[in-house]
Amino acid sequence: MNESTMEQPTATPPPVMNPNKALWEKGDFTQIAETMRQSGEALVAMLGITPGIKVLDLGCGDGTTAIPAAKSGAQVLGVDIAGNLVKAGNERIRKEGLTNCSIQQGDATDLQDLQDESFDLVMSIFGAMFAPKPLEVAKQMVRVTRRGGRIVMGNWIPSDPTLVAQILRISSAYTPPPPEGFISPMLWGVESHVIERFGSAGIAKENITFEQDTYTFIALFSPKEFVDRFRHFYGPTMNAFEAAGKNGKASDLQRELEDLFESQNESNSEEVTSIPATFLRVTVMC
Ligand SMILES: C[S@@+](CC[C@H](N)C(=O)[O-])C[C@H]1O[C@@H](n2cnc3c(N)ncnc32)[C@H](O)[C@@H]1O
């Protein structure tokens, strides 16, 4: 038997990695989410949730909006792609003693476990906007919402002068251009794109309304420490620092972000950071 006819050991193929999932599991978003609790509660309070309604929170993270919705009496299912956030969210739910809320792992582009028209309200606050395939995401959200029900999305707005869009603008200057065909999550913050996406899922544009709203990040530490949290725990910013580090520019990125956070901070106390950020609130009547 010559070498070419000898049986070769079969190599195990490397596991296929979902880059969207890897990005959100990379850090620990709970460290940022802790600064978003008050606005999460305020947003849920204005949704007029009545006891017993069925709510899906898509891209729910560790439950910033799912938990207040459950406290309002809704039956809440959270879905998130990141296993670490699903675990952290279910732990928070357990500590709160809530029996009407749970979080499961899933992908907004493919909600195959969820039945058609099974929710009165589908909310996605800075969640589904980060999934790839926006047309598929819109289709899935419409499919699982009952006729007469509502979808509410919170989406960051591109080129907005407030915090999140500016973090993105600064970070993108330090990172390589995205791969061809990449669709920016921020397009969910542009009304014409939202109309087109839900339009392709069968929703007339008259049934979609838009409002600019504010989410305030409140942290019990300084703006500088807040930047450090993003640097060490927020996947997209971690990636920007890794790329900047390869070009010897990590300290430039740090300085730009510290200037941004300090200039946007509205707190007078050195121990507290309070930064308002504008977002687009989208309401879809199904
Ligand atoms: C900016 S965080 C917001 C989390 C939460 N909604 C909140 O307000 O704290 C974005 C969330 O979307 C989730 N996510 C990203 N892509 C997703 C996808 N394809 N399907 C489901 N969740 C996704 C992430 O894992 C992360 O928890």
Q: Which ligand 1 atom lies nearest to the CA of residue 132?
A: 19
Pairwise CA distance, residues 103 & 59, whole Å: 10
Residue 113 has pLDDT above 50, yes or no: yes
pLDDT one-digit tens code per residue, 244-273 = 999 999 999 999 999 999 999 999 998 899
For residue 136, the enclosing domain spans: 19-159+180-220+277-285
Best residue among 18, 21, 26, 29 to mutate for probing ligand 1's pocket (most ligand atoms within 8 Å of CB) is 29
- 193 falls within a domain: yes
Distance 85 CA to ligand 1 centre (A): 9
pLDDT for 9: 59
CA distances from 220 to 32, 39, 226, 245, 273 (A): 12, 15, 9, 28, 6
Which tokens go with 49? 């949730």
Give ligand 1 pocket residues (Cβ under 6 A): 20, 24, 29, 33, 36, 40, 59-61, 64-65, 79-82, 85, 107-109, 125-127, 130-131
pLDDT one-digit tens code per residue, 26-78 = 999 999 999 999 999 999 999 999 999 999 999 999 999 999 999 999 999 99
- 166 falls within a domain: no
- 87 falls within a domain: yes
pLDDT for 4: 47
| 3-state SS class at 193 | helix
Would you say 227 and 261 are in contact if contact means Cβ atoms under 8 Å apart?
yes
| 3-state SS class at 132 | coil
- 124 falls within a domain: yes
Strands of the 208-219 sheet, one edge to the other: 101-105, 75-80, 54-58, 119-125, 145-156, 273-285, 208-219
Tally of structural domains, the chain: 1
Best residue among 21, 43, 81 to mutate for probing ligand 1's pocket (most ligand atoms within 8 Å of CB) is 81
Q: What percent of the chain has pLDDT over 90?
A: 91
Pairwise CA distance, residues 88 & 70, whole Å: 16
- 14 falls within a domain: no
What CATH number should be reported for the domain holding residue 215?
Answer: 3.40.50.150
pLDDT for 140: 98
Residue 3 has pLDDT above 80, yes or no: no
Distance 82 CA to ligand 1 centre (A): 8
- 64 falls within a domain: yes
The average confidence (pLDDT) of the chain is 95
- 107 falls within a domain: yes
- 152 falls within a domain: yes
pLDDT one-digit tens code per residue, 135-177 = 999 999 999 999 999 999 999 999 999 999 999 999 999 999 9
Residue 1 has pLDDT above 50, yes or no: no
